[in-house]
Amino acid sequence: MLDEGVTLFEEVAQYETIGLLAHDYLEGAHFYELERFDVIRLRFDEYEILYQVEALESFSEFIDQDAIYDRMYKAGGLILQTCNGRGFFFVRAREVDLESCAGCEEQRYY
């Protein structure tokens, strides 16, 4: 359950991406609990969107940050980003619905 301390990265909305940023010692610590195929439920006032985790990736702080940005944010979907002391940790998820989500009923929800 994410709470205060998560920042919406508005700039990436142009790529049809929802980017959520959080410090690894606060809400970002929850990002490490996710596993591939877990389902993330984003709730808004009137509706919710389901995302299924596709990948968990770490990058060194010394890698080209523009390349990371392009790779992670320009593909669309949901990106959760935090720091890991040595660089950046990302969770990449794609939007799904219950009918098309393979095994969603059996997956862990966040």
pLDDT digits (tens, 9 = 90+) for 44-60: 888 889 999 999 998 88
Check whether 12 has a pLDDT greater than 90. Answer: yes
pLDDT, residue 24, reads 87
d(CA 1, CA 7): 14
d(CA 59, CA 86): 8
pLDDT, residue 34, reads 93
Percent of the chain with pLDDT strictly greater than 90: 42
pTM of the model: 0.84
For the chain, domains (ranges, CATH) are 6-106 (2.40.260.10)
pLDDT, residue 1, reads 45
Average pLDDT, the chain: 85
Residue from 80, 75, 57, 108 nearest 6 by CA: 80
